[in-house]
Amino acid sequence: MTPLHTALAVLVTFIWGVNFTFIAWGLESFPPLMLTALRFFFTAVPLVLFLKPPKFNRTLFIYAIGTFVMQYAFVFTAMHLGASAGLTALLLQLQVFITVLLAYVILGEAMSRIQVIGMLIGMLGLGVILLNLGGDMPLVGFVCILIAAIGWSFGNIASKQASTQAAIKATQQGSGVSIVSPTTGKNKASALSALALVVWGGLIACVILTLSSLMFETGAWQLATFMEASLKSWLALGFIVYTSTLIGFGLWAYLLSQNTASKVMPFALLVPIFGMATSVLLTGEVVTWWKMLAMVLILSGLLLANVKMGLGRKLC
């Protein structure tokens, strides 16, 4: 990765780490599905009027449903049910393990034995959290976050496939775009195309989430909900929409389009660190010995799971 791509990856992970605290603040005034629907409504409108839509195919819908609907509906619900911002940020990074596995199965990217060892170490950290469920992490919240991680993983793969497909099409049309290989991700897909993927994917998510919220949170869709929402919750929604979603996911999709998933995904290691730190500083979350043990195990596993392929024997 270039120095610029590295800096952008760190910036995105900082934004996403801080974002968990802002989610907690937004949930003080809005129920989870409604907050998620509002997030993607403002993500899509009015930008859908100015950005050319990507090709509406299975890849786009998998991206929208996995990355936006599944990930955030279940993350917001988990936090609404009592999961702390710091633990949510940590557990959600299990999506790295899942993404590496999916990249191996779907994209044909190599996976080494040391990566498998890393995944097993990460599972030990997951076990530590399982043994301490309750309080900051209720069982139902734990399950919701696992579902969210699976959704994000499928969204990562779909984002990469969509970017590769767009670059291939551009090359075929004689635009001068150069592609090294469809499986390396080293194409020249523009940042604007990545942003369009986020915006139009957000529009699809908004429709699904609004219908879901109307079904399960009928009492929330009243004028009083919007009028009585605190300024802190509205500002939190603004951060979630414009900083975390438009800037964060736009840059992440761009980075995945320019680099292999195995090069980009290791930076997700920083998200739970930023997430836990800001949760402690801004919400008063208590750091216990088992949280630290779980973090060390999961982050160590994630680090090994993203070691360069040459360090271990490839599983081919």
- What CA–CA distance (Å, rounded) separates 176 from 304? 38
Q: Which of 268, 284, 303 is nearest to 91 (CA)?
A: 268
Q: How buried is 198 (Cβ within 10 angstroms: 0-12 exposed, 13-18 middle, 19+ buried)?
A: buried
pLDDT, tens only, 44-85:
998 898 888 877 778 788 888 988 999 999 999 999 999 999
Q: Within a 10 A sphere around the Cβ of 157, how many other Cβ atoms?
A: 23
Residues of the chain with pLDDT under 50: 175-189, 309-316
Distances (CA, A) of 247 to 81, 105, 166, 188, 253: 28, 29, 20, 19, 10
What pLDDT shows up at residue 141? 92
How many C-beta atoms surround the C-beta of residue 279 within 10 A? 26
Q: What is the pLDDT of residue 170?
A: 54
The confidence score (pLDDT) of residue 52 equals 84
Find, among 7, 173, 161, 145, the residue nearest to 85 by Cα: 145
| CB of 206 closer than 8 Å to CB of 65 | no
Q: How many CA atoms lie within 13 A of 204 on its CB side?
A: 23
CB 198 within 8 A of CB 106: no
Of residues 234, 258, 314, 250, the one with CA closest to residue 47: 250
- What tens digit of pLDDT does each residue of 92-140 get? 888 878 887 887 787 777 777 887 888 889 889 888 988 888 878 899 9
73 contacts: CB under 8 Å, gap ≥ 6: 32, 33, 36, 148, 209, 212
Is the torsion defined by CA of 170, 174, 179, 181 positive or negative? positive
Rounded to two decimals, the pTM is: 0.81
